[in-house]
A and B are shown apart, each in its own frame.
Chain A
């Protein structure tokens, strides 16, 4: 019993940690800006490409291999700083108040552009950079060898979740964000610079997507098409949790991951279907997600 349950559990959590960051970013952007960013997955793959490139450079330049760890974080920050304010201030800002069709189309256009930009910048062959995995070594749990890096990822996901709680509940900036989420008009009346809040939230969302991609690189290859695949998975997690619900995204990440892991263990023929099947079942019962609230119809 122990022999089969424990690996299932570890695998589910390791998988959940991998998709949590990107789904977290998607749901955060939605909660503040009320925009479903269709290009969100592209920032995941850009983060992955950048971190793999920096990692490969560190190794080839003969620098201390432990530098690849901070490089993961730095590359995500780099991507966020480069794209966040730029895209929010130009494309996204223009769509505020213009209806969701325009917002989805605008970000879909952005998705198409970013897909080709990645090909042009990073080429079309796969990247693989696993120095962090090699440095941390492995551990045997329940008779199966896991990577210590996978356990680190699980811990990091928990830390990110707690940090976000602390940020929202106990810092000035976080509280302002919470006010903007709760009521946009009132917060503007109170004199909060909502435009600045939007830029911050959007950039933070991109940072989380890029971080998700960067953290995934040591255990996965990076190749064209990664962004489109990640987008729908992140979307499934965010939708199950309830768009805009951070805790919901965390729980949903575990549910989706558990569904996929269970499928691989028990019905391998259905592995890729499992996340979406779970999503459909949840949404049939609770169309606004596990933690979501129905939207109010405007008159």
Chain B
């Protein structure tokens, strides 16, 4: 399969120019990339044929971990915050996943939704601990001893997000090319045959599930720093739905799809706001249905198809 590398590099170069050309888009893109990590986690599971309607909870767990570590444990270093928050989300993914990945199809979707709603309800009701529906503030972190102002930090965070996107995107790509990654796709095609080959579906899925939770958690931590605030809504089921939407819109055929979908949606939202603020959900709902009907491999599939690839990795 030929990869649309040159196109992706060009898109990346364009992104890098954003802070110079459109300074006020910097925040939008930072947030888009952060959500892109969560969408990538969802896309990973979709490759295994599993649809999670609760992945926003790991995004929220990552975000709240950053807020708690900052305000309660006094951790202010960015690297430490990101690593610790991602680890917390991964741990949560491992624990919940051990139970959840035993189920398939609708029940997997449903049980994820169930767990995420408990997380949502707890974060919104435990006023004394989580700040309830007010959420928690996130202070501007320091970076290895450097204490930037908010503006400088925003610029730094933007480039950090792009860097992480490239590095982690490449790692996830490598993972998908590894035997473990191929086993994941095989679960979608024929799980029983995979088990006859001696590969444990449970282990394969639990690994992917934990990775996907970690990615969502990292996204949550980045978003928390960028927004400066965390809220229970991060875990609401419609957010989970939006993550699946983003992944499918971008296309789950390649790692880039999730980020393409996310950046595309956020930029469209910024442009459309004011013009179509009243009908934003209507527009993306229609777009989603059109993608399902006509473009099962998403925007990324569109790029791929132009390059002459015919590999079928859609829904």
Contact = CB atoms under 8 A, between A and B. Distances in A.
Given A113-B281, A236-B117, A279-B114, A273 B125 contact: yes
Nearest to A119: B278
Interface string A252-278: 000000000000000001111100110
A243 B245 CA distance: 24
A117 B315 contact: no
Given A91-B289, A235-B113, A243-B106, 18 more contacts: A30-B106, A101-B46, A104-B109, A106-B289, A109-B285, A111-B285, A113-B286, A116-B281, A119-B278, A120-B278, A236-B114, A273-B125, A277-B121, A279-B117, A295-B106, A297-B104, A297-B191, A299-B190
B288 interface: yes
Nearest to B192: A299
9 contacts: A101-B46, A102-B292, A104-B244, A105-B245, A109-B289, A112-B281, A273-B125, A297-B191, A299-B190
Contacts of B113: 232, 235
Interface in B85-139: 99, 102-107, 109-111, 113-115, 117-118, 120-122, 124-127
A106 B291 CA distance: 10
B19 interface: no
Interface string A277-299: 10110011001100000010101
A117 B278 CA distance: 10
Contact of B111 (A99, A112, A120, A283): A283
Interface residues of B, number: 49
A280 B118 CA distance: 8
A94 interface: yes
A218 B111 CA distance: 33
Nearest to A95: B292
Contacts of A106: 289, 292
A246 interface: no
Interface string B264-301: 00000000000000111110111011001100000000
A101 B49 CA distance: 8
A47 to B, nearest CB: 20
